[in-house]
Every structure is written in C-alpha cells, then in structure tokens.
Amino acid sequence: MVKRLASIALLTGAAHVFTLITLKFLSQKISTDKISIIGELDSLFQFIINILAFGLQLSAVRNIAIADNWKSTYNQVQVARITLACLLVPFGILGLFNPSYQYLVLGPLFALSGDYALYGRGKPVVASVLAFFRVFIPSLVLIIFSELYKGFIISAYISATILIYGITSVFVAKKLETRYWYWPSLKNLQLYLQSFGLGIATMAYYTLGLGILIIAAYFYNTNVIAISYLGIKLYVIFKGVIRIINQAFVKEMNNDGIGIKVDQLAGFLGIGYAGIILIFPDSFIKTFFDESYISYKDFLTVTGIAGLVSSAFTSLTTRSLLKQKDKLYAVYSIISASVCILSVIIFSYFISSPFAIAMSLLIGEVLMTLGLIIINKGITIIGRLRFLLQAAALLLLPISMRALMGDSYLAMITGMLLYAGVGVAIYYKKINFPAFKETW
C-alpha cells in the first residue's frame, strides 16, 4: 500500500512541479494575450473532460472494480461517453463567436480515453504514469515554444494535447485488451442520469477552479484572464494535492476519527499554503511567476485563503458520498457554483481585476464548505477548528523570519521549513494514520 501511494504521489508531484515550471516560463516569456488564450483552451479541455465524466466515471470505476464481467460495463460506459462527445461536436460552430470553442470537436478524442478503468482494475500506478505524460508533453511543448517559437505556441500546445491523448488512449485499450472505438448509441446516455448527482458535484468542483475562467472571459479583458489563469492554475494544483490525501483513505472515511486525521493533515497544508503567500508575497511571486506580477499579490492572497477553506473540511466531500447524500451534495454544489458564477459577473461591473475572480472563488468555497458541514451533521467541528488555530499559531515562526530578514528567499525557505518541521514534530502522532494491510 505504501509503495503504491508513494509511486502515485511521486508521479502526481512530478506533474505538478513541471506545471509550476511551465507557469514560470509563460509568465516571463510570452504576452498576456497568448497566456489568456492558453488559459481558455486549458479550461475548455478540462470542461470537455469533466462533462464526459459527469459522475458516470466515478460509478464506472466502482462497478468495474467489483464486476465479474467488467468489460461489459466498460463497453457500455465508453459508448455513453463517445455518444455524448459526438453531441458536443456540432457546438464547435460556436467557434464563430469564440475561436476556442471550435475545439469542442475534440470531444470524441477525450472520450476514447479509458484510463479511469485502470483504477478499477487495480492499476493506479499505470494510470498515474499516463496522467503524468498528459501533463508533461503539452507543458514541455509550451516551454520550448515560449523560448524558441513564440508565434506557434498556441498551435503547438493544441497539437501536443491531441497527440498525447491519442497515443495514451491507444495504449490504454491495449493494456485493458479492449476495443479502441465504440459506435455511439443514444440509449446508453441514460447511464449519465443514474449518476446525475455525482455529475453535478464534479462540475461544481471544476467551476471552483479553472471553470470560472470560461465565464469570466466574457466580462474581463485578456490581461485579467491571463493573470487569473496563472494564479488559479497554481490554486488547482494545491487542491489536487489535497485530493490525493482524500482519495488515499476513501474506504475509511465513514470513520470520523480517520476523517479528522485527513482534515488535520490537509488543514496543516492549507495553512502553510495560505501562510506562505500572506507572509512572503513578493518572494512567493518571484518564485512561481515573473516579478512584474507582484502588483497582483492581493489576488494571490485571496486564492491562498480559498485554498485553506477548501482543505479544512476536505474529508466531508467523500463522507457525503459514502453516506449516500448525493442529492444534498448536488444541491449545495449547485448553490456554491452558481453564486461563484454570479459573483464573478457582478464584480466585473465594479472591479475589473483578478481580485474579483479570486473573491468569487473564495465565496464559492465558503458556501461549499458550509454545505458539507450541514450535510454531515454530528461530525466533530470544534476539534477540527481547534487544530487549525493551533497549527496557525506556528506561522509565528515564518513571521519571525520575515521580521528578521524581510521578504526574501532565505526568509521564506527558512520560515516555511521551520513551520513544516516543528509542525510535524508536534502533530505527527495526532495525524499519523494506522497501518493498512492492503498490498499490491
């Protein structure tokens, strides 16, 4: 179990690190107009992937894991995904109004990817390797073209995405010993209705991240969208790390004791994420972006706080599903995502800056967290909040380093290492998980 988690964490971490390197290059090497286009394309590709998943993917993984004739289940799901993808193709005509939307025609390409089945078949490491290359190849292309061929960077990014999805999808079909292509059938779309609640939750999770940029693009200029994309991409990476912690203990999440440990670990990381931005904004921005982005520190500060809010009660997401609270979860997901979208539209008339988009995300995360607390009545809230306050007190260590050495790289590294080191020493036993007997 430990070896498997370590392998997955290493691959996922490597993908995130490479994404951070890419963000640094983009902020330094290319114009905000091109960053804005890349951001819109990235958001659109993720939109297509999430629409095709729409809850069906989660239930499919579970069914594939327990079914004797799992290929029958997989075939039905793939037919449903390809059918929905084909229905998206005609909407490519919207490219007449927004050039990015023409790439809705790539829906079938994304639908052909059956990598989700690898998790159900007990091959998560293989799935993680493929996920890594789907991040690594387009990111590598962006880095190369931002340095050498800036004029072709958009076309290169799209081509790299198409190429890597095509290759990995063929590999998955061979690995699973299944067909690559399935003919569409409207009848199979009913499978999406069976997991509608989970689908709503999936789309809400997407909206409280890169998804908000699809809406914001109509109300803010390209400079605002470009800055927002870079900051929100970093925010999404942090949420991805928290999600790994959550997913690692899915089976045990019904136990509130395990849930508390998950939230304590995630909350500790959330405080560190928000803390480093609040205490060392200049050094943080210089590390991950171009120095010219320092004027947007208020925007990044709010995304840091949003990250903390989303991490503090992360176990309640899985717990809600395990408790079969899909409908309530869907209701609060709709509320949080809708208010987030409405906020970003309203704010655009008063604040034409990335700060408005960050505030909308924060509002959405707060509402989602409150909804999860309401759904999971009876959980230990005071204990979770007490731990957060105790962990927050450790920020006095990096604050002291800031007072002594200013907002410098040395102060940031030293301060955050002290926060992490002292925190682990104090709370190791409290958030240490019991050993698991699962093996490869």
Taking the C-alpha atoms of residue 129 and residue 204, their distance in angstroms, rounded to an integer, is: 27
Round to whole Å and give the CA distance between 135 and 221.
27
Host domain of residue 345: 218-432
pLDDT, mean of residues 162-184: 87
In a shared domain, residues 169 and 248: no
| 202 within a domain of the structure (yes/no) | no
Task: Mark whether 13 and 123 lie in a shared domain.
Answer: yes
Q: CA-based angle 225:407:292, to the nearest 5? A: 30
Q: What is the pLDDT of residue 365?
A: 93
pLDDT band at 437; cut points 50, 70, 90: very low
**pLDDT at residue 247 is higher than 90:** no
Q: How many domains does the chain have?
A: 2
In a domain, 209, yes or no: no
Q: What is the mean pLDDT of residues 106-112?
A: 89
Count of CB atoms within 10 A of residue 413's CB?
16
Q: Is 70 exceeded by the pLDDT of residue 225?
A: yes
Q: Could you tell me if 293 and 348 are in contact, meaning their C-beta atoms sit under 8 angstroms apart?
A: no
Contact 253, 319 (CB under 8 A): yes
Buried b (16+ CB within 10 A) or exposed e, 43-61: bbbbbbbbbbbbbbbbbbb
| pLDDT grade for 240, boundaries at 50, 70 and 90 | confident
Residues 71 and 138 grouped into a single domain: yes
pTM of the model: 0.78
- pLDDT reported for residue 7: 58
Q: Are residues 75 and 164 in the same domain?
A: yes
Residues 253 and 375 in one domain: yes
For all residues of the chain together, what is the average pLDDT? 83
Per the domain annotation, does 100 fall within a domain? yes
Q: Are residues 126 and 37 in the same domain?
A: yes
How far apart CA 139 and CA 132 sit, in angstroms, is: 11
Residue 438 pLDDT > 80: no
Residues 64 and 169 in one domain: yes
Residue 200 falls inside a structural domain:
no
Q: Is residue 125 part of a domain?
A: yes
- The answer, yes or no, to whether residue 251 has pLDDT greater than 60, is no
Helices (H) and strands (E) in the chain, counts: 21, 0
Distance between CA atoms of residues 249 and 78, nearest Å: 28
**Confidence band (pLDDT; 50, 70, 90) for 440?**
very low
Name residues whose C-beta falls within 8 Å of residue 235's C-beta, 6 or more positions apart in sequence.
209, 303, 306, 307, 361
Are the CB atoms for 357 and 217 separated by under 8 Å? no
Q: Is residue 199 part of a domain?
A: no
CA distance 416 to 324: 39
CB distance 306 to 177 below 8 Å: no
205 in a domain, yes or no?
no
One domain for residues 72 and 178: yes
Residue 374 burial (C-beta neighbours within 10 Å; 0-12, 13-18, 19+): exposed
pLDDT at 204: 82
Question: What sections of 313-377 are H helices per DSSP?
Answer: 315-322, 326-347, 354-375
Q: What is the pLDDT confidence band of residue 360, given thresholds at 50, 70 and 90? A: very high
For residues 156 and 280, membership in a common domain is answered with no
What's the rounded Cα separation, in Å, for the pair 64 and 92?
A: 32
